[in-house]
Amino acid sequence: MGNNKGHVVSVNGNMVNVEFTGAITKNEVGYIILGNTRLKSEVIRINSNIASLQVYEMTGGVAVGDEVEFTGELLSAELGPGLLTQIYDGLQNPLPQLAEECGFFLQRGVYLTAIPDKNWDFTPVCKVGDTVVAGDTLGTVPEGVFTHKIMVPFDLLGEWKVVSIVKSGNYNVRSTIATIENENGVKKDLSMVFEWPVKKAIKCYEERLRPDETMVTKIRLIDTFLPVAKGGTYCIPGPFGAGKTVLQHLTSKNADVDIVIIAACGERAGEVVEVLKEFPELIDPKTGRSLMERTIIICNTSSMPVAAREASVYTAVTLAEYYRNMGLDVLLLADSTSRWAQAMREMSGRLEEIPGEEAFPAYLESKIAEFYERAGKVRLKDGTTASVTIGGTVSPAGGNFEEPVTQATLKVVGAFHGLSRERSDARKYPAIDPLESWSKYEGVLPADKVSKAYSILLRGNEVNQMMKVVGEEGTSLEDYIIYQKGELLDSVYLQQNSFDPVDAAVVVERQVETFDVLYDILMSNFALDDKKDVRLFFNRVRQAFLDWNGTAQDDKAYSSRKDELITLYKEKVRG
């Protein structure tokens, strides 16, 4: 505990102004003493000898003159084995244990140890006399299906020599496993656990690389037309109820990554309960075990003020960077960053800062950019590559993509998956609007073919808009066929049946096979006599395609249904 103290001079919601003595720093943790209760807070502004603190608890009962103790430590996350499978709040308190201790209603001022106090089978990989630097591996422990690297704390500067290290064996997570010494004779005892400030990016890697590898989601629309790269960033804006959370959940189940971290920073209890109930029961297709074994969930509780939304976002990205440093691919899903932005707006108002557009703080863009910039693909010191991919949902009021949070996010992300109320109401899954959305990354299929297919979709939409004015009768047969081709592409490829175990998640090899057949249809000229003939033909092709989509690849009917589809459309191809 630091020696600096202060006392409360004013209270404004969850912002408290404190007069202090000594020296403190921004983002330092302070505790407001309220009898036997200590309320955790963070310094967000210092003006002379007055510090503004945002309090991560309800401030009822806090009065002028109450004592405040500063710790001398920044707001940090605890890193080490045991993070996987955990459910935390924004301050990294394990919620199940918190519920056991406090009961149904969580109490203020109760803070628990983030990493479980248990033993791990430690295997050293370095020996006495070795020289190590920050981020180097001291040893390993098995954590589920992963090999968890026990690393030299990231904040140690310069070279250190290993003075002692334990032999292979079973040790408590907080026991000393190694002692290191620098050239000045300063010694440090290291355990399997250390802390890292959540608002400071972890940069213990050799080089930052261009995100050039597709993160497969098994959702055809995304992997083909709107791809996401490992180490890239993307956002999913959309009106309420359009399917943002559903899309994120299915992405977390099927994405080609090692670790999934869900930051439910919006206090939306229904979706969080669904995650907590579903994930332990879901079988991970990668491991055959519970999906929860490679997942960390961070969610706010309703008993915490909105300031905790910010803490949960930063805690989540810090844990993601930590696992990236082990050589793993991590997917971080933040739902919803709009709530975080609203928390910033509320705090900015209490700080009496000059407001920007729609009363959001003027620094909104830079804060959002700082968060997404912590994603990335990196090359580690051992030559392996690893990544943190960040996908954030945005909840613009009324589905208005012109509002500040959406626009600030679009400036920094590499892919935009805009959800449409019209497609959502039509029960199209995913409800991503393919004509409004975009991606800067490379997908799983050749770009030239995808571009030609997209042009069919675009032209089909133009014909559809024209038909709304002049009717079907005023449309030429050629344009009507283009319209039907666009509808076929939408219904059999862009849409999936999330209730069908086969069609809900489609592997890359099958996506390629399906697209090749569809592309041949889109590029073919058909000998069709009139619009009735066109409708009947495309309806038959659509149904044959859907039957094939719902057939498992190991099913005997798979090849025959594909052959039937090909025969059906080739009969009408103009010679």
Taking a C-beta distance cutoff of 8 angstroms, is the pair 414, 439 a contact? Answer: yes
Ligand-binding site membership of 356 (annotated):
no
Q: What are the beta bridge partners of residue 52?
A: 17, 45
The contacts of residue 192 (CB under 8 Å, 6+ apart) are: 80, 81, 120, 122, 141, 150, 171, 173, 174, 175, 177
| Gyration radius of the chain over CA positions | 27
Gap between the terminal Cα atoms of the chain: 84
Phi, psi of 230 (to 5 degrees): -65, 125
Q: What is the dihedral of CA 279, 281, 284, 288, to 10 degrees?
A: 160
| 263/259 Cα distance (integer angstroms) | 13
Taking a C-beta distance cutoff of 8 angstroms, is the pair 550, 522 a contact? Answer: no
Ligand-binding site membership of 129 (annotated):
no
Q: What are the beta bridge partners of residue 77?
A: 196
Question: By C-alpha distance, which of 65, 76, 74, 78 is closest to 32?
Answer: 65
SS (H, E, C) 16-32: EEEEECCCCCCCEEEEE
Q: How far is CA 390 from CA 119, 275, 362, 415, in A?
A: 32, 18, 23, 11
Ligand-binding site membership of 238 (annotated):
yes
For tokens 């309090």, name the residue: 55
What tokens appear for 178 in the block? 């190694």
Ligand-binding site membership of 240 (annotated):
yes
Taking a C-beta distance cutoff of 8 angstroms, is the pair 295, 146 a contact? Answer: no
What tokens appear for 141 in the block? 């422990």
Helical packing angle, 244-254 and 269-278, nearest 10°: 20
Ligand-binding site membership of 135 (annotated):
no
Ligand-binding site membership of 245 (annotated):
yes
Strand residue runs (E) in 80-232: 87-88, 119-124, 131-132, 137-143, 146-151, 160-165, 169-172, 178-182, 187-190, 194-197, 207-209
Ligand-binding site membership of 241 (annotated):
yes
Q: Pairing relation of β-strands 376-379 and 207-209?
A: antiparallel
The contacts of residue 547 (CB under 8 Å, 6+ apart) are: 561
Q: What is the dihedral of CA 231, 448, 510, 570, to 10 degrees?
A: 170
Taking a C-beta distance cutoff of 8 angstroms, is the pair 181, 357 a contact? Answer: no
Estimate to the nearest angstrom the gap between the alpha carbon of 575 and the chain centroid. 50
Question: By C-alpha distance, which of 119, 133, 130 is closest to 81?
Answer: 119
The secondary element (H helix, E strand) that includes residue 478 is helix 477-489
Instruction: Say which amino acid occupies 209.
Output: L
Q: Does a cis peptide bond (omega within 30 degrees of 0) precede residue 451?
A: no
Ligand-binding site membership of 430 (annotated):
no
The annotated binding site for ATP is made up of 238-245
The annotated binding site is made up of 238-245
